[in-house]
């Protein structure tokens, strides 16, 4: 049986690790905030440092907030690299399921391969709901041989698993995903604020749009959150800002213009300035409400009053 390590047990990582344990794998766990009792009661084994996880596991999964976090977990004192053997016969696989810089990912790939181990990037989409329900979309950058080994493990956490190409391409795909998600969130928020301010019931507007060409998963899930003003984070604004920053940085290197992404990033900056950094990314509607001088009223037909 393959031993699996899992590092990073936040909103996404905790349920993802739980699926692996329930799938029958021995799972070794580490999180800087501590390993939840829920996972150890299922049979997961808590480890004091990333290096201990790497020493005991054959495949080490990372689910961390940002590029510096991944670098620290991999290469700092007591990091993953300290638990990796330099014996080629004991080659292990690191799967980074975080959303981080494609450029830095390729650097990490090189550094891990230099000591005889493999690296795959496999960022996810689907938020906390997808993590809990094991329905995540997983975008994989890996060699064909590595992908064949890790696909059954990824299948315990996700529903749609696609090999995009060589290591690093998974992060490119995730950046594209975050561009689409952010711009669609902004569009849904604009539409609902507009409808409410114009005197239509935005709840009925949303229901009508779900049956037409404007239908989307974001309109379905996040549109409801906007109408109810329930912004408990599934995916926080500060993290979405980080992801758009990654996309914009890469675009600058490539000489590609992303005007819509830049605009949405600016709106998220305003959200942070108004104290919403830790709210769900659907809370972008709040800054648009401020700009309109109008708050959505979903339960009754809205008036024209600001």
Residues 168 and 184: their CA atoms lie apart, in Å, by 25
The pLDDT score that the predictor gives to residue 235 is 86
The pLDDT score that the predictor gives to residue 299 is 53
Residue 106, token pair as written in the block: 């390729």
- Reference 105, options 138, 152, 77, 64; nearest CA is 64
SS3 27: strand
Secondary structure (DSSP) of 219-271: HHHHHHHHHHT----SSBHHHHHHHHHHHHHHHHHHT---HHHHHHHHHHHHH
The pLDDT score that the predictor gives to residue 88 is 66
Please provide residue 97's backbone torsions phi and psi, each rounded to the nearest 5 degrees: -100, 5
Residues 285 and 41: their CA atoms lie apart, in Å, by 40
Identify whether the C-beta of residue 274 lies closer than 8 Å to the C-beta of residue 284: no
pLDDT in tens, 227-260: 999 999 888 999 899 999 999 999 998 999 999 9
The pLDDT score that the predictor gives to residue 85 is 81
Secondary structure (DSSP) of 154-177: HTTTEEEEEEEESTTHHHHHHHHH
CATH superfamily of 4-167: NAD(P)-binding Rossmann-like Domain (3.40.50.720)
- Report residue 216 CA to chain centroid gap: 19
SS3 128: helix
Query: Active-site residue 14, yes or no?
Result: no
Other beta carbons less than 10 A from residue 279's beta carbon: 21
Q: Which of 149, 174, 242, 290 is catalytic?
A: 174
Residue 32, token pair as written in the block: 């800087």
The Cα-based distances of 172 to 165, 178, 182, 187, 275 in angstroms read 10, 10, 16, 23, 30
pLDDT in tens, 174-226: 999 999 999 999 999 999 999 999 999 999 999 999 999 999 999 999 999 99
Please provide residue 25's backbone torsions phi and psi, each rounded to the nearest 5 degrees: -85, 145
Secondary structure (DSSP) of 76-116: STTSGGGG--S-GGG--EEEE-S---HHHHHHHHHHHHTTT
Give me the residue spans of the domains in the chain: 4-167, 173-292
pTM of structure: 0.87
Q: Tens digit of pLDDT per residue, the chain (306 long)?
A: 899 999 999 999 999 999 999 999 999 999 999 999 999 999 999 999 999 999 999 999 999 999 999 999 999 999 999 999 877 678 999 999 999 999 999 999 999 999 999 999 999 998 888 999 999 999 999 999 999 999 999 999 999 999 999 999 999 999 999 999 999 999 999 999 999 999 999 999 999 999 999 999 999 999 999 999 999 988 899 989 999 999 999 999 899 999 999 999 999 999 999 999 999 999 999 999 999 999 997 554 444 443
The Cα-based distances of 192 to 60, 186, 200 in angstroms read 43, 10, 9
The pLDDT score that the predictor gives to residue 297 is 76
Q: Which CATH class is domain 173-292?
A: mainly alpha
- Reference 11, options 122, 128, 123; nearest CA is 128
Please provide residue 213's backbone torsions phi and psi, each rounded to the nearest 5 degrees: -70, -20
The Cα-based distances of 5 to 11, 48, 56, 154 in angstroms read 17, 12, 8, 13
* DSSP one-letter code for 287: H
């Amino acid at each position: 049986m393959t031993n699996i390590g899992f590092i990073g047990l936040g909103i996404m990582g905790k349920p993802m690790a739980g699926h692996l344990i329930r799938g029958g794998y021995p799972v070794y766990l580490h999180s800087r905030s501590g390993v939840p009792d829920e996972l150890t009661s299922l049979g997961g084994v808590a480890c004091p440092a990333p290096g201990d996880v790497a020493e005991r596991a054959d495949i080490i999964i990372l689910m961390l907030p940002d590029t510096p976090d991944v670098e620290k977990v991999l290469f700092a004192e007591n990091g993953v690299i300290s638990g990796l053997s330099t014996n080629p016969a004991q080659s292990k696989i690191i799967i980074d399921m975080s959303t981080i810089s494609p450029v830095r990912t390729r650097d990490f790939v090189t550094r891990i391969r230099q000591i005889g181990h493999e690296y795959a990037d496999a960022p996810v989409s689907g938020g906390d709901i997808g993590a809990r329900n094991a329905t995540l979309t997983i975008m994989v950058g890996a060699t064909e041989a590595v992908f064949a080994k890790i696909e059954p493990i990824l299948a315990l956490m996700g529903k749609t698993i696609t090999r995009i190409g060589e290591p690093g391409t998974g992060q490119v795909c995730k950046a594209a995903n975050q561009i689409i998600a952010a711009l669609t969130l902004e569009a849904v928020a604009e539409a609902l604020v507009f409808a409410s301010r114009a005197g239509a019931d935005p709840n009925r507007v949303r229901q009508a749009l779900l049956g037409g060409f404007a239908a989307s998963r974001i309109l379905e899930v996040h549109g409801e959150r906007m109408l109810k003003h329930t912004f408990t984070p599934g995916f926080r604004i500060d993290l979405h800002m980080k992801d758009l920053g990654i996309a914009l940085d890469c675009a600058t290197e490539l000489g590609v213009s992303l005007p819509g992404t830049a605009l949405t990033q600016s709106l998220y900056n305003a959200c942070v300035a108004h104290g919403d950094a830790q709210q769900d990314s659907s809370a972008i509607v709040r800054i648009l409400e401020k700009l309109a001088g109008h708050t959505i009223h979903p339960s009754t037909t809205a008036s024209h009053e600001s």
